[in-house]
Chain A
Amino acid sequence: MTTPIITPDFVDLRLEAASRQAATRRLAQLLVGQGRVTDLDGFLADVTAREQQMPTGIEGGIGIPHARSAFVTEPTLAFARSTAGVDFGAADGPAHLIFLIAAPEGGGSQHMTILAALARRLVHASFREALATAPDAQTVVDIVSKEVVGP
């Protein structure tokens, strides 16, 4: 891959955010900083639109805000850990692991396949556990790269 879906720049292991909007904004800012998202507010509007259709939180403390958006340049994953937790509308409480998935509007299916593989990994407890205990950003990137993109 010429452009990795995640780099240490997109990882925040000590996220403090009062709401899912704030958490999403914080992660999206990381993407804007590296040029993966061209318009912060435009992208957030797309994420919010998706979130309003149905909250993206799932059981086990996971929030997965995501969108296909014209303001995304490359398929990208941003990851955050929140000790306090951020409510993403899941039935069993706030999310401690937050994955922001940004996909370009007309993304080719090869890109989408990588995101699909990522989504599939999210279901696995071992994957979540590894991310929950990763000591630093580089470890998170290594785990995702190894599991999703292949060694």
Chain B
Amino acid sequence: MKLVAVTSCPTGIAHTYMAAESIEQAAKAAGHSITVETQGAAGAEPIPADVIAAADAVIFAADVEVRDHERFAGKPLVTAPVKRAINDGPALIAEAVQAAENRPAASAAAVAAAEPAATQPASAAGPGQAGLTTKVDQGAGLGTRLRQWLMTGVSYMIPFVAAGGILIAISFIIGGPQVATKVFGGTFHGHTYPAAVTGIESFTIAPVLHAAGIAGVLFLIGKVAFFMLVPVLAGFIAFAMADRMGLVPGFVAGLVATATGAGFLGGLIGGLLAGAIVMALKRLKVPRAFAGIMPVVVIPLVSTAVTGVIMFVAVGRPVAAATTGLTNWLHGLSGTNAAVLGLLLGAMMAFDLGGPVNKVAYTFALASLASGDTTIMAAVMAAGMTPPIACALASVVRKQLFSPAERTAGEAAWLLGLSFITEGAIPFAAGDPLRVIPSLMAGSAVTGALSMAFGATSLAPHGGIWVIGLIGKPGLWTAAIAAGIGVSAACLIALKSLRHTAPATSAVSLPGTTRVPVGA
């Protein structure tokens, strides 16, 4: 029997090679031929594509993500922690042989039919080159895998955040912060502008150019990139869980989350939901006649329909209800202590970073601005600026607590935060929501409360640091922002450090891949 295997471990200098040797010895003893790719520090020599094609089964003995695992799509696969390969190579070989033999003869034709579709993008990219990759390592504990799923989504989302956010910031810088109002219409510092476009779903460029010039066009392009943010997040979370078949329901779930205003938290839920549904559908045993069309038609169709309906009913409706409820509650609060109101609004701004709760707070500020109360807008804007900057700061101060992808996102987050583009913090929040969101809320609450207590005012509805000329008491307002950044960054570092020491005590969990390992 012909086998291929990949071994890899966190450091890539010991277990990777021990596992390779152990598997090779065991295969030789059992009379099988095997080619092992060691993805270690000495550099991996990729298994030639024709060897993979001829293989009867694949073994992944890996504690970290196998690079370019798409190459092996469709082959019977056995995965094991790297240590198992070292300790018991013969058992692993036996499992691989069994997996090859168990490949149901009945569905072999179906698998063969499905294979070209499944492997096409990988082969189109050329042998040895990755198609889309995930950060998922099979066989890890649920907590670890959950984080890997989220991080896969985040890593694909980051370029959208960076590109869109920076375009928007540039448009503010070259066109003045009223660009946004000129494009979408509204009132900015006493001027009322007609809307040049109705929304990003359908628009023509001429009115935008006319109203806001090239800055307006850049702004609009940035907004379009931002529109993709939640769908890409959800789509690639589902992809990490269920491979290509997860993409369709994942993207649709993300679009529904965007359309219903559920924000990135809705997208997270949608992506996980879509992935879980596809994973469940893949396990179904179906009649032979059906097997061929399962991956191409049935699973995408069923999973998309089910995910979409659940998203509309279980996410869309509660979000709408919560939005109304929160808005009424906020309006009922008018007359409360200003600092307390600032505290609440600040926390709301950071809760979902552009999602429904954030929108309620921002809309409340807009309404207040329209009725002449300029302090609330100053507080809300300040509280919306701290999250990205705090994330960027924390990722610089304690590099090792953040993945390389997060650190890249941090580089763009400075500018996004300064420009009051709160979404800049989403890559951090989506990858580790339970630690990041409370940290960001704490800092933004402090900022909101301080800004209100100081009596800072803002005549502009957006623009961040670029509208500092329209801020009353700019020095104190900036101090409020700095205080919130300090609080959030400190919380982030504290909470993430706690987690990093945790794996030592819970020795059962498999590889404590809290960091996404690189090149190990």
Task: Give the B-binding residues of A (Cβ under 8 A).
Answer: 50, 52-56, 58-59, 64, 66-68, 89, 91, 101, 103, 107, 109, 112-113, 115-117, 119-124
Contact = CB atoms under 8 A, between A and B. Distances in A.
A144 to B, nearest CB: 14
Contact of A55 (B14, B22, B507): B507
A54 B42 contact: no
Given A115-B17, A123-B25, 5 more contacts: A58-B83, A112-B40, A115-B41, A116-B17, A122-B18
Interface in B490-520: 503-504, 507, 510-513
B86 A58 contact: yes
Contact of B504 (A52, A64, A119): A52
Given A58-B86, A89-B507, A103 B512 contact: no
Nearest to A60: B87
Identify the interface centre among A50, A109, A123: most chain B CB within 10 Å of its CB.
A123
14 contacts: A52-B504, A53-B512, A58-B83, A101-B13, A101-B14, A103-B13, A109-B41, A112-B41, A117-B17, A119-B15, A120-B18, A123-B22, A123-B25, A123-B86
A123 B83 CA distance: 11
Tell me what chain A mostly uses at the interface: helix, strand, loop, or mixed: mixed
A120 to B, nearest CB: 4
Interface string B7-34: 0001111111110111001000000000
A120 B42 CA distance: 13
A16 B390 CA distance: 48
B503 A53 contact: yes
Contacts of B423: none
Contacts of B81: 54
B42 A115 contact: yes
B126 interface: no
Contacts of A91: 87
B14 A115 contact: yes
B319 to A, nearest CB: 39
Nearest to A58: B86
A54 B87 CA distance: 15
Contact of A54 (B13, B21, B511): B511
A68 B63 contact: no
Identify the interface centre among B11, B511, B513: most chain A CB within 10 Å of its CB.
B11
B43 interface: yes
Nearest to A107: B41
Contacts of B507: 55, 89
Contacts of A103: 11, 13, 41
Contact of B43 (A53, A56, A112): A112
A66 to B, nearest CB: 5
Given A68-B41, A103-B41, A112-B41, A53 B511 contact: yes
A66 B13 contact: yes
Interface in B71-122: 81, 83, 86-88
Contacts of B20: 120
A131 to B, nearest CB: 15
B38 interface: yes
A117 B16 CA distance: 11
B18 A54 contact: no
B135 to A, nearest CB: 15
B140 to A, nearest CB: 11
B149 to A, nearest CB: 20
A124 B24 CA distance: 12
Contacts of B25: 123-124
Nearest to A47: B11
Contacts of A52: 503-504, 512
A109 B14 CA distance: 14
Given A54-B83, A54-B511, A109-B43, A64 B14 contact: yes
Nearest to A67: B11
A124 B28 CA distance: 14
A68 B86 contact: no
A105 to B, nearest CB: 10
